[in-house]
Structure formats: C-alpha cells, structure tokens
C-alpha cells in the first residue's frame, strides 16, 4: 500500500487580514497550513498563543517547514524570525514588510550575531520581486509564487 506523500507544512504567524489571505491562497496549493496568532478575536482563523508561545512554536519548526510572518507587532515578527533562523530547520522564511522594516530586522539580527548567510534566509519583503500591490490578496499571491518556486526547485 502506497501512502500519499506528506504535504509540506506552512506555518503562518499572524492571522489578521494578510494571514487570512495567506491561508486562503495556500489552501489551494499542496500545503498543510497552520496559523497562530495572539489576538483572541481571531480564534476562528488561528490557534491562539501568547507572543512568547508563538516564539516557542517558531523555534520548534520541523526540518523542511515553510513559515510566513505577519503578526500584530514588528517586535513579535522579529522574535519569531530570529527563533526560526536560530533553529535553522525551515526551508523557507518569509516576512511581510517594507524595505525599511527589512533593513531594521537585518540590523537587529546582525547586532545579535547572526551571520550574513543565515540572515540571507529571511525573505522580507516576502513575494516575487517586481510584483507591486499592498492588498492582502496581492501579497498572498506574490508570496505563494515565491514559495512555490522554492518547493518546485527541489523536484
């Protein structure tokens, strides 16, 4: 009996408008999607964890998992990203943000001693270069295209 191969796991940190758009987009693709958020009002879209618990969950990602970050806070975004980078098991790490946010994140990671090679694994802003648009659905489609490029690259 052949078992179907396990779908890659995509973990969403943040279930606000962009996180919901990510979940809807990736539900159409070959991924097992999990979402975490700290805001109790989003319990119909995500598992509710404290900010510290989200960081713990980030540190526990498994080998080959994919992660997208769009929480309610730049500081939480940073802590989640740093935990994922430190663990080193995620196949892909993307974060919603501007170039300015990316530059700030890189500066903090460098100050904490992360190597340039490890920092380069953070895709911020997430999405395909050249695709513009700030609507959650546009960001989700662009991020999905980027993640699919990583997924299919190994096939």
pLDDT digits (tens, 9 = 90+) for 84-121: 999 999 999 999 999 999 999 999 999 999 999 999 99
If one counts the domains in the chain, the total is: 1
What CATH number does residue 125 fall under? 3.40.50.720
Taking the whole predicted model, whether its pTM rises above 0.85 is answered as yes
4 domain-assigned: no
Tell me the per-residue pLDDT of 122-139, one tens digit each, with 9 for 90 and over: 999 999 988 878 899 999
Tell me the per-residue pLDDT of 26-82, one tens digit each, with 9 for 90 and over: 999 999 999 999 999 999 989 999 999 999 999 999 999 999 999 999 999 999 999
Structural domain range at position 84: 9-153
- Other Cβ atoms within 10 Å of 96 Cβ, number: 24
pLDDT of residue 4: 67
């Amino acid at each position: 009996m052949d078992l179907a191969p396990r779908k890659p796991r995509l973990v969403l940190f943040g279930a606000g408008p962009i996180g919901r758009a990510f979940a809807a987009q990736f539900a159409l693709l070959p991924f097992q999607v999990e979402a975490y958020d700290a805001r109790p009002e989003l319990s119909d879209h995500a598992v509710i964890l404290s900010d510290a618990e989200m960081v713990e969950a980030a540190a526990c990602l498994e080998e080959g998992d994919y992660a997208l970050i769009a929480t309610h806070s730049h500081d939480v975004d940073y802590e989640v990203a740093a935990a994922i980078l430190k663990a080193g098991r995620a196949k892909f790490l993307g974060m919603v943000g501007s170039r300015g946010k990316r530059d700030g994140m890189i500066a903090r990671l460098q100050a904490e001693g992360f190597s340039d090679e490890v920092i380069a694994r953070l895709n911020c802003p997430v999405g395909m270069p050249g695709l513009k648009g700030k609507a959650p659905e546009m960001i989700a489609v662009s991020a999905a295209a980027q993640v699919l490029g990583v997924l299919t690259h190994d096939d």
